[in-house]
Amino acid sequence: MSLKSKDLTGIKGLDAEDIELILETAAGFKDVLRRDIKKVPALRGKTAVNLFYEPSTRTRTSFELAAKRLSTDVVNFSVSTSSVVKGETLRDTAQTIQALGADLIVVRHPCSGAPHFLARHLQASVINAGDGTDEHPTQALLDLLTMREKRGNIEGLEVAIVGDILHSRVAKSNIYALRKLGAGVRLIGPPALVPPYMEEFGVRIFSDMDAGLEGADIVMMLRIQLERQGKGFFPTKEEYFNNWGLTARRLMRAKKNAIVMHPGPMNRGVEIASDVADGERSAILEQVTNGLAVRMAVLYLLSGVKG
Ligand code: CP
């Protein structure tokens, strides 16, 4: 069992068959994670390196745990204490890590396209853990696994993605994945953050949140990137919450059994009210748990393919 490519650079390059294989493999690893001994020898002798040029809580930790659960040797490369601070290039750094024996390199980088660049220059498998505003494929895969567990089937679901779509790599990967599997996608947010050209993705666009949530099966909230405040995308956090924040009242517009998702980290009281984030319809912590199984599946499936 393996994927068609040696790398996972994005959902855009996967077909529905690849996505199904990852989700089925992840479901199998969830069984392993429920056992007393949560470790299998599947990738003994392999080496994975986490190369993160941006901060992360969920993604880096779950890639590390996923590697350990598969008996892979894993190294967390610290950019701030490495020769990157002396000016070493991304390619030289990655080739150095490969020369030390890395089979799998997990990379997060602020520049869109950085993992694609490395994939072209390395024999090791490259996994995109988030590149600029482009893609975050393992986040979309764990989101799909969560939706499937909660609702049985992705095809035919109506998924509302709310917030800063323009800058969101999570949104892009989810849009590609959901459209490939036959779900309907609505994008909701201020016009400056949900530009009309995004209709080309085969989605519907709403600036009115109540209208966009009507009858949705899944409500996926995105982090408002506060570091971009003051750049004219929206006037104030309070105004943003009043128009596009998810409250219990607003959630009533969606289906009765709709679930609430968020990739994290959350801005409570900005894009989502705390009682909704912690409420019975929230699947946010289940997303995190599913991230471990999905990342085990990706490491496992890619380790069988070498370019
Ligand atoms: N969802 C996500 O990518 O979270 P981290 O930035 O904590 O990895």
pLDDT digits (tens, 9 = 90+) for 134-177: 999 999 999 999 999 999 999 999 999 999 999 999 999 999 99
- 86 annotated active-site: yes
Q: Which of 57, 134, 173, 222 to mutate to test the pocket of ligand 1 (most atoms within 8 A of CB)?
A: 57
The pLDDT score that the predictor gives to residue 147 is 98
82 Cβ contact partners less than 8 Å away, ≥ 6 residues apart:
88, 93
Confidence label for 229 from pLDDT (cuts 50, 70 and 90): low
pLDDT of 38 strictly over 60: yes
- 253 annotated active-site: no
DSSP conformation class of 220: E
Mean pLDDT of 209-224: 97
Length of the chain: 307
Mean pLDDT of 20-36: 96
pLDDT of 242 strictly over 90: yes
The count of other CB atoms within 10 Å of the CB of residue 233 is: 18
Residue minimizing CA distance to atom 4 of ligand 1? 58
* Closest among 167, 174, 165 to 146, alpha carbons compared: 174
DSSP conformation class of 3: -
The count of other CB atoms within 10 Å of the CB of residue 296 is: 29
- 109 annotated active-site: no
User: From edge to edge, which strands make up the β-sheet containing 125-131?
Assistant: 73-78, 47-52, 104-109, 125-131
Closest atom, ligand 1, to C-alpha of 130:
3
Beta carbon of 137 within 6 Å of any ligand 1 atom: no
- 58 annotated active-site: yes
What ranges make up the beta strands (E) of the chain?
47-52, 73-78, 104-109, 125-131, 158-162, 184-188, 204-206, 218-221, 259-261
CA pair distance 242, 231, nearest whole angstrom = 19
pLDDT of 305 strictly over 70: no
DSSP conformation class of 165: -
Q: What is the distance of C-alpha 86 from the center of its chain?
A: 31
Confidence label for 307 from pLDDT (cuts 50, 70 and 90): very low
CA 61 – ligand 1 centroid, Å: 9
Which pTM value belongs to this model? 0.96
pLDDT, averaged across the chain = 95
* Closest among 200, 276, 267, 211 to 240, alpha carbons compared: 267
Please pick, among 34, 35, 81, 86, the residue that the annotation labels catalytic.
Answer: 86
pLDDT digits (tens, 9 = 90+) for 79-123: 988 999 999 999 999 999 999 999 999 999 999 999 999 999 999
Higher pLDDT residue, 235 or 35?
Answer: 35
The pLDDT score that the predictor gives to residue 228 is 59
Closest atom, ligand 1, to C-alpha of 136:
3
| CB-based contact 70:43 (threshold 8 Å) | yes
Is beta strand 125-131 parallel, antiparallel or unpaired with respect to 73-78? unpaired
User: What tokens appear for 211 in the block?
Assistant: 């209208």
Closest atom, ligand 1, to C-alpha of 263:
1
CA 139 – ligand 1 centroid, Å: 8
Confidence label for 56 from pLDDT (cuts 50, 70 and 90): very high
pLDDT digits (tens, 9 = 90+) for 280-296: 999 999 999 999 999 99
| CB-based contact 92:71 (threshold 8 Å) | no
Confidence label for 201 from pLDDT (cuts 50, 70 and 90): very high
Closest atom, ligand 1, to C-alpha of 60:
8
- 108 annotated active-site: yes
Q: What percent of the chain has pLDDT over 70?
A: 97
The pLDDT score that the predictor gives to residue 138 is 98
Confidence label for 306 from pLDDT (cuts 50, 70 and 90): very low
Q: Which of 50, 51, 53, 59 to mutate to test the pocket of ligand 1 (most atoms within 8 A of CB)?
A: 59
Residue minimizing CA distance to atom 5 of ligand 1? 56
Beta carbon of 59 within 6 Å of any ligand 1 atom: yes
